[in-house]
């Protein structure tokens, strides 16, 4: 048996890549990052990488046992949803310690005109009362919820091109964060945006649009995060996740 301790990171986020880079610097650790494969050209983290699903919680539990994983860290996107529940079930089945690395959500401040909704369908229902030219930053998945709004114009920003069904009056902007405040200001002005739709992803990489909208009084429809498994320990940043792992898997040498 290898002396290395094996850590599986369910990744795809900025925080997951930062954590993988820190952990992979330790030769006593074998670090594997798992990506869902929804992005055509993902940013690959340090260490080993696998792409694709596990086949549900049973498949993930089997992989944890077969690969002799010592710790599992769920650092997926806040809206990944199902994978977090699969991770909790699989970790319990395989008896592997589990930690959730979840960035804090955004909080409205003075001057923000936010409408909080529970889903993309609810966001679509709220739009007609708020504006006509929509900056839609929820990614390429789920655009069908807005396809029936034929009188509205949409600017859709995503990493990869969306597939139908999509709104009839739509322009696509293929881009990847982080985004600058000046860039977001220019985008809102150039496209005459009067309402923004976003998911509460949290983090700084895509928050500039919220500041830009606040400055010009543009309302923002914010889709709340889905529920997460109860009883799973959570931390908010990669440093705290590394500290948890240091305590869980003590190393014979100082942790980097």
Q: What is the pLDDT of residues 99-109, one digit of tens each?
A: 999 999 999 99
The gap between the terminal CA atoms of the chain, to the nearest Å, is 24
The count of structural domains within the chain is 2
Tell which residue, 14, 43, 46, 30, has the closest CA to residue 245. Answer: 30
233 and 218 in a common domain: no
* 8 A C-beta contact, residue 170 and residue 149: no
Mean pLDDT of 125-147: 95
Mean pLDDT, all residues of the chain = 93
pLDDT at 255 over 50: no
pTM, to two decimals: 0.89
Residue in the block written with tokens 């401040």: 109
Which runs of consecutive H residues, i.e. helices, occur in 13-163? 14-24, 56-66, 82-94, 120-126
pLDDT at 126 over 90: yes
Q: Can you give the residue range of the structural domain that contains 42?
A: 5-104+227-248
Angle at 138 between CA 58 and CA 163, to 5 degrees: 80
What CATH number does residue 148 fall under?
3.40.50
Least confident interval from 1-5, 10-14, 52-56, 193-197: 1-5
Residue 1: per-residue pLDDT:
39
Least confident interval from 38-47, 132-141, 172-181: 38-47
Least confident interval from 35-44, 122-131, 132-141, 214-223: 35-44
192 and 238 in a common domain: no
179 and 86 in a common domain: no
191 and 133 in a common domain: yes
Q: Is 170 helix (H, G, I), strand (E, B) or coil?
A: strand
Tokens of 42: 């993902």
215 and 121 in a common domain: yes
Residue 252: per-residue pLDDT:
45
3 confidence band (pLDDT: 50, 70, 90): low
36 confidence band (pLDDT: 50, 70, 90): confident
Is 209 among the domain residues? yes
119 and 97 in a common domain: no
What CATH number does residue 243 fall under?
3.40.50.720
Mean pLDDT of 48-65: 96
pLDDT at 23 over 60: yes
Is 254 among the domain residues? no
Tokens of 232: 């799973």
- In the chain, % of residues over pLDDT 90: 86
Least confident interval from 63-67, 202-206, 213-217: 202-206
pLDDT at 15 over 50: yes
Mean pLDDT of 242-248: 95
2 confidence band (pLDDT: 50, 70, 90): low
């Amino acid at each position: 048996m290898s002396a290395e301790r094996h850590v599986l990171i369910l990744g795809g986020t900025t925080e997951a890549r930062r954590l993988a880079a820190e952990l992979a610097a330790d030769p006593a650790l074998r670090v594997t990052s798992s990506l869902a494969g929804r992005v055509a050209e993902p940013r690959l983290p340090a260490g080993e990488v696998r792409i694709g699903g596990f086949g549900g919680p049973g498949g993930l539990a089997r992989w944890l046992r077969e690969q002799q994983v010592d710790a599992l860290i769920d650092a997926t996107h806040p809206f990944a949803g199902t994978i977090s529940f699969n991770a909790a079930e699989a970790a319990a089945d395989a008896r592997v310690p589990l930690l959730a690395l979840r960035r804090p959500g955004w909080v409205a401040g003075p001057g923000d005109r936010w409408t909080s909704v529970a889903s993309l369908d609810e966001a679509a229902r709220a739009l007609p009362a708020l504006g006509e030219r929509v900056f839609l930053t929820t990614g390429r998945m789920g655009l069908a919820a807005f396809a029936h709004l034929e009188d509205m114009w949409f600017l859709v920003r995503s990493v990869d091109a969306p597939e139908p069904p999509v709104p009839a009056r739509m322009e696509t902007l293929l881009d990847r964060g982080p985004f600058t405040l000046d860039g977001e200001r220019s985008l809102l002005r150039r496209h005459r945006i009067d309402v923004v739709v976003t998911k509460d992803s949290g983090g700084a990489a895509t928050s500039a649009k919220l500041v830009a909208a606040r400055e010009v009084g543009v309302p923002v429809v914010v889709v709340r995060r889905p529920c997460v498994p109860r009883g799973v320990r959570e931390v908010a940043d990669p440093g705290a996740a590394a500290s948890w792992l240091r305590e869980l898997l003590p190393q014979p040498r100082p942790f980097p």
